[in-house]
A = this chain, B = another copy of it.
């Protein structure tokens, strides 16, 4: 799903490049491509993929993002792949470079957005599955992105790491206020409509001898009313509950299907 009424088309000029250094498995490259396109990104660069290129596995795993795989650019070295970038974030689970700032994905995304809007090309660099980035590759980075994770099991799958960066990049384009997804809910019914439901139910239950013993009846009535009034119900749902109430109370009576069908129609009038 998308944010409020926007297209997620990212311009080729401002979107970051994602550089996978020495990726081992084609299926991870494909999954990374799919994750990128899930968030409107399609500038994928590969440095020396272990199993060669193109890759059948990559295309199979891309699952609809084949054009990102097809459009991936091959480079012999990380330096080449990053040469047109103004700023590079390196992703790693190990913070070997004490001299670089280490930021979580959300901060990296915000920073990358700001730089992209200022006309800079930003790169995100991802290391190979097993070994991660080498220090010589990290040397191209201006900052390290590190995902806050389980210290006892911190190694993210390559495509999962790509996904988190793409996800945060996308989030960073919205102000927090934009995430008002709740406007499409049905309008809640007004209190008055629920009072009517409570009134009729109370009346029925009074006749059924439900509020018993007498000494507790006021408390029982209040509790029941309170329960009904705080339910989050739409108007159609209030009508449904009226229909349910009427159907139930006619169950044991002599009323034939006619009465029941009237109840099923959900009308409130009696």
Tell me whether A212 is interfacial, beta carbon within 8 Å: yes
**Which stretch from A47-55, A70-78, A111-119, A202-210 is at the chain B interface?**
A202-210
**Which stretch from A16-24, A32-40, A120-128 is at the chain B interface?**
A32-40
Q: A63-B157, A164-B167 are in contact. Are A182 and B1 (CB under 8 A)?
A: no
CB closest chain-B residue, reference A153:
B37
- In this complex, the interface size class of chain A, counting residues with CB under 8 Å from chain B, is 35 or more
Is the pair A64, B148 in contact by a Cβ cutoff of 8 Å?
no
Is the pair A153, B1 in contact by a Cβ cutoff of 8 Å?
no
Tell me whether A135 is interfacial, beta carbon within 8 Å: no
Smallest Cβ distance from A238 to chain B, in angstroms? 10
Tell me whether A267 is interfacial, beta carbon within 8 Å: no
Is the pair A160, B212 in contact by a Cβ cutoff of 8 Å?
no
Is the pair A35, B160 in contact by a Cβ cutoff of 8 Å?
yes
Q: Which of A152, A231, A244 has the most CB of B within 10 A?
A: A244
Tell me whether A193 is interfacial, beta carbon within 8 Å: no
Is the pair B170, A148 in contact by a Cβ cutoff of 8 Å?
yes
Report B-chain residues with C-beta under 8 Å of the C-beta of A231: 231-232
Is the pair B201, A244 in contact by a Cβ cutoff of 8 Å?
yes
Report B-chain residues with C-beta under 8 Å of the C-beta of A104: 171, 179, 181
Report B-chain residues with C-beta under 8 Å of the C-beta of A215: none
- Interface 1/0 per residue, A213-240 and B, CB below 8 Å: 0000000000110010001111001001
Is the pair B2, A148 in contact by a Cβ cutoff of 8 Å?
yes
CB closest chain-B residue, reference A159:
B160
Smallest Cβ distance from A148 to chain B, in angstroms? 4
Cα-based distance from A245 to B241 in the complex (angstroms): 11
Smallest Cβ distance from A6 to chain B, in angstroms? 8
* Apart from A223-B240, A248-B249, 12 more pairs, CB < 8 Å: A1-B93, A2-B151, A2-B154, A38-B155, A38-B156, A64-B153, A99-B237, A101-B182, A164-B164, A208-B250, A210-B263, A252-B252
